[in-house]
Amino acid sequence: MSRHVLLNNIDHKALRINTSRSAAFGDNVMCCVVYPVEFQALQEEYPIVFHRNAETAEVHPVALFGLEQNENLFLANEQWQASYIPLLMQRDPFLIGQQSSTKDGESQLVIHIDLDSPRVSETEGQAIFLPHGGNSEFIEQIASVLKAIHFSQPDSKAFTDALKQHDLLEPIVLDIELGKNRHHRLSGFHTINEKALANLNDQAIVALHRKGFLAWIYCCQLSLGRLNALVRRKQQQ
């Protein structure tokens, strides 16, 4: 269960956030949604693929951390063994919300916290607020992460809409040999269709380039080189 409330420095002045990384804190996930703004950092560590929601047909880019459900091969000794952690994983247990301003009626961005998260504590972890009530450096960083997520969503949708428009996605199925008669099949994801990309006309290529989408496509393609590293992590288990 989750219990999201508006964060404030009165009711939550003593709260701290445990930033350790482990299955106990919900980090044992196979993948998470990622945003184009972080593709360049992601491609150095994770394969970036795409997941299509069967009910809504919406497509989202995701970073792979494992090869099966409830598996994150980057977790070890309560740490995340990578140089970059995706934004959606960084922000836990915080969410961004909007509330109307009483002065002008316009909405403003606010931070919510899940009080039922196992990360929330009063005895250990990063302080959210300073002793006198001001924001800590930690929560300022979280605010930056939440803003990046919020403002990246329209760009991400425009990107995946363009991929669908030009039929640039194809299913990916990988049969993986893990040694000692261990086999695994990775399926349920999509990747860039290189043949369809090569067959686009000049007008479509220029349009994708001007929107910045072509660079994001190349990031996704380059990231697939990290699949072998992911398989090696699996083999070492």
Distance set, CA 222 to CA 47, 74, 97, 225 (Å): 8, 20, 34, 6
Q: What is the CA radius of gyration of the chain?
A: 20
Query: 30-44: per-residue pLDDT in tens?
Result: 999 999 999 999 999
pLDDT reported for residue 102: 56
Provide the 8-state DSSP code for 1: -
Q: How much is the pTM? A: 0.91
Distance set, CA 33 to CA 50, 87, 137, 196, 222 (Å): 9, 9, 26, 24, 18
Q: Is the pLDDT of residue 98 over 60?
A: yes
Q: Which two tokens stand for residue 92?
A: 């836990």
Provide the domain limits for residue 125.
4-235
Helix or strand or coil: residue 120?
A: strand
Helix or strand or coil: residue 132?
A: coil
Q: Stretch 161-173: mean pLDDT, rounded?
A: 96
Run of H or E residues at 192: strand 182-192
Count of C-beta atoms within a 10 Å radius of residue 203: 8
Question: Residue 66's Cα: distance from chain center in Å?
Answer: 14
Nearest C-alpha neighbor of 156 from the set 59, 65, 90, 73: 59
Mean of per-residue pLDDT scores for the chain: 92
Q: Stretch 165-190: mean pLDDT, rounded?
A: 88
At 105, the pLDDT band (50, 70, 90 cuts) reads: low
Provide the 8-state DSSP code for 179: E
What is the count of structural domains for the chain?
1
Q: How many whole angstroms separate alpha carbon 12 and alpha carbon 111?
A: 12
Q: How many whole angstroms separate alpha carbon 50 and alpha carbon 184?
A: 19
Q: Read out DSSP for 57-119? A: --EEEEEE--SSTT--TTEETTEE-SS---HHHHSTTEEEEEEE-TTTS-EEEEEEEETTSTT
Percent of the chain with pLDDT over 70: 96
